[in-house]
Every structure is written in C-alpha cells, then in structure tokens.
Amino acid sequence: MASTETVRVSGFFPRSVSLRWVERYFYLSMSLLIAAVVIYGFGHTVQRKLIQATPPRPILLWVHAFLFCAWVAFYIAQSIFVRVHKVKLHRSLGWAGAALGVAMIVVGPWVAVVMARFDTTRLHRANRDAFLIVPLFDMVTFAICFVLAILWRKFPERHRRLLLIASCALTGAAFGRMPLLHAPLYFYGAIDGLILLAVLRDLAVNHRIHAVYRIAMPLLIAAQAAVSYAFLHRAPFWIKIASVLMGSSGKISHP
C-alpha cells in the first residue's frame, strides 16, 4: 500500500552516507539552523531596539525575549538528547518544555498587544494596529502545533514534526528583521522554506510526505495569505478587533 505513495528521489540524494546523515541528524541540524536564523535576524536590531533602546522598552519585552531564547535552547537540547539516545532524559525534561511553551503562549500575545500600543503611543509608529495580526498569528500557529505535539507525545513521528513547525513559526520575527524580508509574504516564504526542508527530508528518507505536513502546510500557507491581506489592506474587521485589543491593553499592568 505504501508503494502507491512512493516518490523516487534517488536523483536528489544518493542512497549512501548522505542519506543516512539526513535521516539521523536532520532534526538536530534544523534546531541549529533555527538558532542561527534567530541570532542573525535579531542581531540586526537587538542592540538599538532592546538593550540600549530609547525610550526603554517594557520589561515584558525582556521576559518575552528570555522565554523565546529559552525555547530555542530547549529545542536544541531535546534534539541532542534524542540523537544520543537519552530518551528518558528527553521525556523527563519534556514537561519543563511544556511549562515553557505554556508561558510563551501566555506572554507572546500579551507582549504583542503591549508593544503595538507602545509603538503607537510612545514611538508614534503608524499602522501598528494592522500589523498586530502578524505576531498574534505566529503565536496561534505555535500554540496549535505545540498543544497537538503534547497530545501526541506518544506518537514520535507526529510529535517531532509538530514541534518543528511550531519552532519554525517563531522565526517570523527574526526573518522580518533581515534585509529584503520585511514584507509579510517574504518572511512567511522563509518560514515555509524551513518547513519545506522537512518535507524534502521525508521524501528522501521515507519516500513520502508525512500526514502532518500534508495537512499543516496548505492550512498554514492559506492562513499566511489571509493574514498578509488583512495587514496590507487594513481589513476593517481586523482594525476593529485590533482597536479593542490595544484599547483594553491599558487595563493590563504595564511593566
């Protein structure tokens, strides 16, 4: 039955050392690539927009940055533990990662709203209400994939693919700070490019695309297009929602 889904990929990867390397080290390599994207992307702005920013940024942004970096480090560590067959340690630390992920899901949208209001009222930047949909969507994508990964933690093939998509979704802010990748459609393309590497890995190693990617990729791309449209065209329905969110953010204690 699986033979009907087989895609010949011998032209892409010789069935030798290179293919075995891809099979064994792909997820570890991807965790390191995600870290490199984050370091390079935020390296363009972290000094002037956080560390030595004028006016100083809210403390909540520092908390968000810490949680974000902690997640990237955790993802790398978990990938290493799997690679060196420390499965028990991987599973034990998984609950710490679950707590970290929940913290990100809480703080991420909160800081997005607080910073949209800060950018509008303190920095007088235009269109921050429309742009708010972008970071909120990133966190929704992360949250959905993260929760599903926890629910399917006993199904490793689903679990690791969902966590990869969740981690890739977080790179949007880093890609958006890179030259030529400021427009939403551009940095969304970069995120999708990371996930496409995983799709190609499946084709090379398993000769088929896993159901997680077959379902997630079309939904993700369609949602990215909708978010980009709402932002670029200042969709009235979204501007009303953003106005409510940004107006009510004043009720949250501003760190």
pLDDT in tens, 136-178: 999 999 999 999 999 999 999 999 999 999 999 999 999 998 8
Least confident span in 71-80, 108-117, 210-219, 245-254 = 245-254
Contact in structure between 170 and 138 (CB atoms under 8 Å) = yes
**pLDDT exceeds 90 at position 7:** no
Least confident span in 17-31, 67-81, 119-133, 222-236 = 17-31
**pLDDT exceeds 90 at position 70:** yes
Rounded CA gap, 76 and 132, in Å? Answer: 29
What is the pLDDT, as a whole number, of residue 15? Answer: 59
Count of CB atoms situated within 10 Å of the CB of 22: 16
**pLDDT exceeds 90 at position 32:** yes
**pLDDT exceeds 80 at position 13:** no
pLDDT greater at residue 175 or residue 20? 175
pLDDT bucket at 184, cuts 50 / 70 / 90: low
The DSSP output letter for 54 is S
pLDDT bucket at 238, cuts 50 / 70 / 90: very high
Question: Would you kindly state where each structural domain of the chain is located, as residue ranges?
Answer: 14-251
Tokens 């551009």 — which residue?
A: 186
What is the pLDDT, as a whole number, of residue 244? Answer: 94
As a whole-number percent, the residues of the chain with pLDDT over 90 amount to: 71
Tokens 């501003």 — which residue?
A: 254
What is the pLDDT, as a whole number, of residue 251? Answer: 40
**pLDDT exceeds 70 at position 79:** yes
Rounded CA gap, 70 and 104, in Å? Answer: 10
What is the pLDDT, as a whole number, of residue 22? Answer: 84
Cis peptide before 184 (omega within 30 of 0): no
Rounded CA gap, 189 and 202, in Å? Answer: 20
Instruction: Find the mean pLDDT for residues 169-194.
Output: 88
Contact in structure between 154 and 160 (CB atoms under 8 Å) = no
Q: Is 58 exposed, middle or buried (0-12, 13-18, 19+ CB in 10 A)?
A: middle
**pLDDT exceeds 50 at position 45:** yes
Count of CB atoms situated within 10 Å of the CB of 111: 25
Contact in structure between 55 and 122 (CB atoms under 8 Å) = yes
Rounded CA gap, 230 and 233, in Å? Answer: 6
Orientation of helix 59-83 relative to helix 156-169, angle to 10°:
150
**pLDDT exceeds 80 at position 75:** yes
As a whole-number percent, the residues of the chain with pLDDT over 70 amount to: 90
pLDDT greater at residue 151 or residue 20? 151
User: Residue 176's closest CA among 166, 186, 167, 168?
Assistant: 186
Count of CB atoms situated within 10 Å of the CB of 203: 17
Tokens 């370091």 — which residue?
A: 39
Over the chain, what is the mean pLDDT? 88
The DSSP output letter for 132 is T
